[in-house]
Structure 1
Amino acid sequence: MIQLTQIDPRKLIILDRDGVINEDSDAYVKSLDEWIPIPGSIEAIADLSKAGYILCVATNQSGLARNYFDESTLHAMHEKLTDLVSEKGGVIHTIEYCPHGPDDQCGCRKPLPGMFKKIANLFGLSDLSGSYTVGDSARDLVAGGELNSQPILVKTGKGLKTIAAETYPTGTLIFDDLSAFAEHLRLKA
């Protein structure tokens, strides 16, 4: 793996995909046509990128292990995502995904921190202190929290269920959606 220049972790944002960037589905997002951005999410990513933030995606994609779609379909979805962000003037630096099912005993499937460790290593960081992990479920936030990333819960996707179940980590900040979080960072700057 090529290591990028070490960055200020306060400028690193790790996003879950389904339910944060695009609409989620209990039946899985299985095709390019089913990959539908949540209103404002693409613009939020581009705005954060233009403001100097490093945007990465860490996503469980067990639909691969379940044979609901193949890697070429997944890559097409990710290409659509990166193209849409690029059209708005932003960049997604890396997309990490776990292709395993829940019983595969891998180290990358959230809530395990494998994808987050890869992202930290990519930027020469020993942990993710100061960074942000944005998700709609507790497992997203727990995975980032393993490396000391600030948990951010959005109410889109499974976010309202996560709030109702009160399963998110202590210290989690809650926002309506990715756009609201981006606005929070803009005002904080």
Structure 2
Amino acid sequence: MLVLLDRDGVINEDRPDFVKNPGELVFIPNSLEAIARLNSHGHKLVVTTNQSCIGRGIITEEQLAAIHGKLIEALAKVSGRLDDIIVAPDAPWAATDRRKPGPGMLIEAMRKFNARPGETVMIGDSTRDIEAAGAAGCHRILVRTGKGRKTLAEGLGRHLLPVHVADDLDEAADFILAGRF
């Protein structure tokens, strides 16, 4: 299965002022280990992340590469890895179809890894993650970490269902490994 992951709020703590350097990348407990477990069962894992901090001029692509370098190094320490990281650097006022809720990044990942929507799951913490997955035809898991609790409290539209809900990425990995899709 192809597993698509939002970054902020799923793998690492979400910050209202953006993750601007590697020191601000704080991992949610057990998120790295969950990725490693999925790797060990042969799943492909791709981060699909909106990073409007680039489009807003807050950080550069080089700074984002350093942040992702920390993520890759931390995963390696627990025998985990990502097969790709796909970024939408668009500012919200200049959004392309790549920026979630657009499905562009998800479709790009499915094409790259030759995966059909029925063989793909998106794990996110926001309505826009679930909307992007719905538009791409993927399975959907909403985690309660990050913006997840707020997203659940606001409710998901019927058109986005079904959505599995997990406490965190670790529990979402359990759903996938149990064959719930």
- How many angstroms apart in 1 are the aligned matches of 2:117 and 2:61? 28
- How many angstroms apart in 1 are the aligned matches of 2:145 and 2:8? 9
| Structure number having the greater helix percentage | 2
What TM-score, normalized by structure 1, do the two folds share? 0.89
Matched, 1:48 2:12: no
Contact 2:8–2:14 (8 Å) recurs in 1: yes
Matched, 1:142 2:131: yes
RMSD: 1.4
- How many angstroms apart in 2 are the aligned matches of 1:120 and 1:158? 25
Number of residue equivalences: 178
- How many angstroms apart in 2 are the aligned matches of 1:73 and 1:59? 15
Matched, 1:26 2:48: no
* Number of the residue aligned with 2:113: 123
- C-alpha displacement of 1:181: 1.2
Contact 1:64–1:99 (8 Å) recurs in 2: yes
What TM-score, normalized by structure 2, do the two folds share? 0.93
Please show how residues 148-163 of structure 1 align to structure 2 within 5 Å. 148-163=137-152
- How many angstroms apart in 2 are the aligned matches of 1:112 and 1:184? 25
Amino acid in structure 2 at the alignment position of 1:97: V
* Number of the residue aligned with 1:8: none
Structure 2, unaligned runs of 5 or more? none
Please show how residues 3-42 of structure 1 align to structure 2 within 5 Å. 11-42=1-32
Structure 1, unaligned runs of 5 or more? 1-10
- How many angstroms apart in 1 are the aligned matches of 2:153 and 2:25? 26
- How many angstroms apart in 2 are the aligned matches of 1:111 and 1:184? 24
SS at match of 2:96: coil
